[in-house]
Chains A and B, each alone.
Chain A
Amino acid sequence: MKRLDCEMFHAIRKIRTRRLPAAVLALTVAAAVAAVAVGCGTTEKDIEKIPTPAKDTLYVYNAGEYIDPELIDQFEEETGINVVYDVFETLEEMYPVIEAGGVVYDCVCPSDYMIEKMIKNNLLQEVDYDNIPNIKYIGEDYMKMASEFDPGNKYAVPYTWGTVGILYNEGMLDELGIPYPTKWSDLWNPALKNEILMQDSVRDAFMVALKKNGYSCNTEDPEELDTAMKDLIDQKPIVQAYVVDQVRDKMIGEEAAIGVIYSGEILYVQDELADTDVRIDYVVPEEGTNLWIDAWVIPKNARNKKYAEQWINFLCRPDVAAKNFEYITYSTPNTGALELLDQEYLDNEDVFPDTKKLLETCEFYHFLGQEGDALYNNRWKTVKSS
């Protein structure tokens, strides 16, 4: 005992500079464990359920703040299926989780190009439409659009769609004496120093610079990409921040005059500011932009395909889709839901733009393969490092 004590003493002496972090780490781990337990809302009853997840639990993986939480409860009540709902911030973060298969999800909601990648890498299984009768409510135009990344509509059921555009604060721009933006190149105006919020995701950031130069946002031409990279580096000094979901809240808080954002956020922003004299508007830039569709897919390793299809069918029901739209304000492809919505929404061109006109200048992102991705990722790193 004594010898061991002595050894331990020496060991502790040697690592004494690390003792405190270790204690903090231990506390953190304890806190994390507690947080996980609380976060999952584990009651004693739930704990019994966890070891046998396959039985009556549906594991859903969706982007952050991308559903009306009441609908999860409603689904649980109607079907008796227990839903475990997890969120991711970016698709790039979601992909390795599904690929590694460490955590098995039954239903995931990625965007077009990521679905294309998952199909190509054999990570998805075909949806059985017999189990999703409500598919009839999804507009034909949207199914056709989705077939661009999911040929034959075998894997993906459209959930939301929209554009990437510019959100701008009219009052702040008036004060600065700068005309309202109409095109991407307006985001390179030096007078906007510290007023611009750019998207902190590689494809969206490059899309802005590529479209500004009249290139495709799926280009793999190194010269075009170099031009875009140079533009992004030139723009960096006037950009206030590169953020993802925070663009919305920062615009509401009047932290910046201009933000690059998805069309689905405009209604939320305007709702939040309804009682103030702050005027914020959205524009789809002239040069064209990215048109996107987010859709539900079922991973190959899903344990409960039937439940996943029940979940998708539930979300395709007009009343559910309409309720969800009113919460998340991202345009729905559900024709049944459109009939239930206020005309005021449908007349809003930011939310429901004319798809035919859009398709002339806008593009979906396509999966570019590992080499294509590397072309973008490496240049994005250069932009961030400079």
Chain B
Amino acid sequence: MKSKSSRYLAMPYIIWIVGFIVIPLLTIVYYGFTDPNHAFTLGNLAEILVWENYRPLYRAMLLAASCTAICFLLAFPLAMILREHKVGRGSIIVFIFILPMWMNSLLRILAWQTLLERKGVINGMLTALHLPEQHLINTTAAVLIGMVYDFLPFMILPLYNALMKIDDNTVNAAYDLGASFWQTLTKIILPLSVPGIVSGVTMVFVPALTTFAISNMLGGGKIYLIGNVIEQEFMQDSDWNQGSGLSLVLMIFVIVSMLFVNHFDDKSDTRRGGIM
């Protein structure tokens, strides 16, 4: 009786999964493997071999990897600091870092537009200090800044959680046994935080790889990523087949990179870390 009622409780999730994940995904697969006349084809997937498509993919991979690396370098020391001061203070600081996530991300990117523009806030300050104006907006650097800003919380949270879960005694034991700070960091703390790193890397890399809004708004339409190609296929060219084909290729890249990252995860103790 009990198990039956709990099965009903799962219904909303099943409806959600089927309606909003399975069916849309199958639609994409259908479009991806057919041509406009509904005949089977692999041509849409093979399109990735065309220069116009693999170049933006390569560019997106490069930017996403850079973004992930920068996020990690920023977030790990922060997570370490939060770990040191875990009593009380930690939660407020973490809250502040997560706070921006409560605001629409496009709005935050718009704010960056205002900051980076030629007559924007940053150049305004430079001019006030009699320093030369900088060309910031509509560059690769601007897109990278936007990505890092948008996705940093997704790196901080899992790292913070993983580090908080490491037993102080483990760390103290390492020091007692004569390990230096550097040794403790590389031999104890880093290996134990691998699950958090894996979560963080995935959660930053995947959205960074697929974004098109950030590159559009901060790149001035000049920094063309694979997400922009797919957007153009759907929105401008009305070519849903090719757009779907390229989306599938992108999904394969995402899955491969997740498998690669998860490979490290399996080696460590999986009960530790993770997000939240």
Contacts and interface: CB of A to CB of B under 8 A. Distances in A.
B267 interface: no
Interface stretch (B22-30, B71-79, B87-95, B235-243): B235-243
A20 B203 contact: yes
Given A17-B198, A17-B199, A93 B235 contact: yes
Given A1-B2, A3-B3, A20-B157, A384 B224 contact: yes
B232 interface: yes
B32 interface: no
B202 A17 contact: yes
Interface string A360-386: 000000000000011001100110111
Contacts of A374: 237
A96 B234 CA distance: 9
A240 B222 CA distance: 8
B186 interface: no
A385 B222 contact: no
Contacts of A201: 236
Contacts of B108: none
Interface in B1-38: 2-3, 6-7, 10
B43 interface: no
B222 A1 contact: no
Contacts of B137: 241, 255
Interface in B197-246: 198-199, 202-203, 207, 220-222, 224, 228-229, 232, 235-238
Contacts, number: 92
Interface in A83-117: 90, 92-93, 95-96, 99
Given A92-B235, A93-B235, A20 B6 contact: no
A17 B275 contact: yes
Contacts of A253: 117, 119
Given A93-B235, A96-B238, A241-B220, A255 B118 contact: yes
B69 to A, nearest CB: 18
Contacts of B229: 381, 385
A274 interface: no
Contacts of B118: 254-256
Nearest to A239: B222
Contacts of A202: 236
B52 interface: yes
B275 A377 contact: no
A242 interface: yes
A241 B55 contact: no
A152 interface: no
Contact of A385 (B51, B138, B275): B51
Contacts of A99: 238
A16 B220 contact: no
Interface string A332-365: 0000000000000000000000000000000000
Interface string A242-272: 1100000000011110000000000000000
Contact of B236 (A17, A92, A255): A92
Contact of A4 (B10, B138, B198): B10
A300 interface: no
B238 A382 contact: no
Interface in B99-126: 101, 104, 117-119
Contacts of B101: 24
A213 interface: no
Given A4-B7, A92-B235, A381-B52, A16 B274 contact: yes
Given A243-B221, A255-B119, A20 B275 contact: yes
B219 to A, nearest CB: 8
Contacts of A16: 199, 274-275
Interface in B140-197: 154, 157
Contacts of A170: none
A286 interface: no
Nearest to A90: B236
Given A92-B238, A241-B138, A255-B118, A1 B221 contact: no
B52 A241 contact: no
Contact of A377 (B157, B199, B237): B237
Nearest to B261: A17
25 contacts: A1-B3, A4-B7, A4-B10, A17-B198, A17-B202, A17-B203, A17-B258, A20-B157, A20-B275, A21-B207, A90-B235, A92-B235, A92-B236, A93-B236, A96-B238, A99-B238, A194-B135, A240-B220, A241-B221, A253-B117, A254-B118, A255-B118, A377-B236, A382-B52, A384-B228
Q: What are the nearest 9 A-B pairs in CB distance?
A: A241-B220, A242-B221, A385-B52, A384-B224, A92-B236, A241-B138, A200-B221, A377-B237, A381-B52
Given A1-B2, A385-B55, 17 more contacts: A1-B6, A3-B3, A17-B275, A21-B207, A90-B236, A92-B235, A93-B236, A95-B238, A99-B238, A236-B222, A241-B137, A255-B117, A374-B237, A378-B52, A384-B224, A384-B232, A385-B51
Interface of A: 1, 3-4, 13, 16-17, 19-21, 24, 31, 90, 92-93, 95-96, 99, 194, 200-202, 236, 239-243, 253-256, 373-374, 377-378, 381-382, 384-386
